[in-house]
Amino acid sequence: MGRYWERLIHSVKESLRKVLGKALQTILCEVEACLNARPLTFINDGPGDPQPLSPFQLFTGREYMDLPAIESNDPDWRPTDHGAS
């Protein structure tokens, strides 16, 4: 049963990759960043309390800085054309 289940998961992942491509990769990277930015313990409100570490801080040694969201109604924003030569 284990091999069948793993093969089924592989088939679903491969189908999603073919259909969604880079969009799926981008979404999964954003989800991963959000999860790794969360603190490992609860956060105290006291001013003298130490700040809890996140997985991102353990890996990189710095705090996670989220990029600002792109405004789709911004007239100056245009997607890059990766197919252009």
The domain ranges of the chain are 2-41+52-60
pLDDT of res. 31: 87
**50 closest CA partner among 38, 34, 62, 39:** 39
Q: What angle do CA 16, 17, 19 make, to 5 degrees?
A: 65
Q: Residue 38, SS3?
A: coil
SS3 6: helix
Could you tell me the two tokens for 17? Answer: 């990759």
Whole-model pTM: value is 0.50
Maximum Cα–Cα distance across the chain: 56
Using 50, 70 and 90 to split pLDDT, how confident is the model at 2?
A: confident
Between 82 and 60, the higher pLDDT residue? 60
Per-residue model confidence as pLDDT tens digits over 24-77: 888 888 888 888 888 888 777 777 878 788 888 888 887 777 766 666 676 776
Under a CB-based contact definition with an 8 Å cutoff, are residues 56 and 64 in contact? yes
